[in-house]
Amino acid sequence: MDAFSDYYPDLLLTACLLGAALALAPVAQRLRLPAPAAFLAAGVTAGALGIAPFADISPIVLEEIGTLALYAILFQGGLSTGLSAFRSNARPIMMLGLPGTAVTAGAIALAGRAIGLDWSLAILVGVALAPTDPAAVYAVLRGGGRQSSARTVLEGESGFNDPVGISLMVVTLSMLGSDSASFWEGVLRLGEELLIGAAGGLVGGALLIVLLRSTPRLEEGLQSFAIITGAVIVGAATATLHGSGFLAIYVAGLVISDAWAKQDSNRHAVPEALSAIAEPLLFGLLGAVFADRLGWTAAWEGVVLTLVTVLLVRPPVAFACVARCGFSRSERLLISVGGLKGAVPLLLAAYPALEGLSEAAATEAIVLVATATSIVVQGLLLPAVARRAAPT
């Protein structure tokens, strides 16, 4: 009982930190920053001051929490994008999500090496920062006027490239870690992760549609809970089969989206609420855990790599990926500016700790700074560019 009694002070402190982050959210919005910035700031501040009760969280527990949060975010991302919209914009989404993510990772790694990082650290940082983040992108674009093809591409990319980035990180760790896999073994494993993940999502999504149609009279909350439970089963089962559970749950959300909207409505309160809760909690938790890794070296490295990514890497990659897709100049600008970093890069930065790599702490610190810089720089630019690119 004495050990359990320590839970209440930690619960009180955590609730107070969340309350402080919620109080900061309107300030962030007045500064035209995405709401997750407030939770990241509160988490980093609490962690740096040593008042966050998260110091004893192991890398395994952190990844387990992050996985559940990302499942909620990705499933809602698939639902909000919709299968019809994804199909209409499949080419630019796939180009940005697959070769775009790989090229971005390589370019950031080269930039990291150019500023003095060891190759292994540069590669880990490059892979972690390559994917855009659904939590940040959805937070900035949500409620920003009529949906456009460019916004659909950004939302679709941010959902699709996260599983790709996670699979790429798993492969990278197998090559840098104790497994010491060869390059071609890594390529084969990446292909296996993505193929099994896509297949698991398609099959799982079809089964979720069967579940949906068999429960038309079930109370909305219970039906949503049943669908979400089924989605978690899809993700976990796919991961058990050595596929990407993250890709599977995103694809399952895409597959069921139109059928669920046709049966009920386009708005689903329970998955939306879970995603809305998961976004800020993940930002705050990861910011608090990584805060003690920060130093001046990581600070300038993170800022430089973010500016290089925003100004030199993302624009040509994005423009090449959406070439001949019929986008206007303002829409291409929106896509090039919209590669925000966020909770997913932070989660990826924690992966090296699972392998006990010596570069783990430096990776976490650099990615934390880069994420904060991205939220400020791109978070300020994206809403204005989105309004300019909005259909009239």
CA dihedral sign of residues 12, 15, 21, 26: negative
Instruction: With respect to residue 29, please indicate whether it lies within any of the assigned structural domains.
Output: no
Instruction: With respect to residue 67, please indicate whether it lies within any of the assigned structural domains.
Output: yes
What is the extent of the structural domain holding 226? 58-389
Instruction: With respect to residue 242, please indicate whether it lies within any of the assigned structural domains.
Output: yes
The predicted structure's pLDDT at residue 1? 54
Number of domains present in the structure of the chain: 1
| pLDDT tens by residue, 234-254 | 999 999 998 999 999 999 999
Token representation of residue 376: 């400020």
The predicted structure's pLDDT at residue 57? 81
The predicted structure's pLDDT at residue 147? 57
3-state secondary structure of 31: coil
- Return the closest-CA partner of residue 322 out of 38, 47, 93, 152: 93
| Strands annotated E in the chain | none
Place of tokens 């934390």: 368
Instruction: With respect to residue 53, please indicate whether it lies within any of the assigned structural domains.
Output: no
Instruction: With respect to residue 328, please indicate whether it lies within any of the assigned structural domains.
Output: yes
CATH number, domain of 326, equals 1.20.1530.20
The predicted structure's pLDDT at residue 230? 94
Instruction: With respect to residue 380, please indicate whether it lies within any of the assigned structural domains.
Output: yes
CB atoms within 10 A of CB 60: 10
The three-point CA angle 224-225-228 to 5° equals 85
Cα separation, 262 vs 95, whole angstroms: 29
Instruction: With respect to residue 3, please indicate whether it lies within any of the assigned structural domains.
Output: no
pTM of the model: 0.88
The per-residue DSSP string of 284-332 comes to HHHHHHHGGG--HHHHHHHHHHHHHIIIIIHHHHHHHHTTTS---HHHH
Instruction: With respect to residue 37, please indicate whether it lies within any of the assigned structural domains.
Output: no
Q: Do 243 and 167 form a contact (C-beta atoms < 8 A)?
A: no
Cα separation, 290 vs 319, whole angstroms: 33
Report, as ranges of residue numbers, the positions in the chain whose pLDDT lies below 70: 1-4, 55, 134-136, 138-148, 178-181, 265-267, 386-392
Q: What is the 8-class DSSP label of residue 78?
A: H
The predicted structure's pLDDT at residue 129? 95
- Return the closest-CA partner of residue 104 out of 287, 340, 326, 299: 340
Cα separation, 107 vs 123, whole angstroms: 10
CA-to-CA dists, residue 365 to 63, 170, 281, 294, 330, angstroms: 17, 19, 19, 5, 34
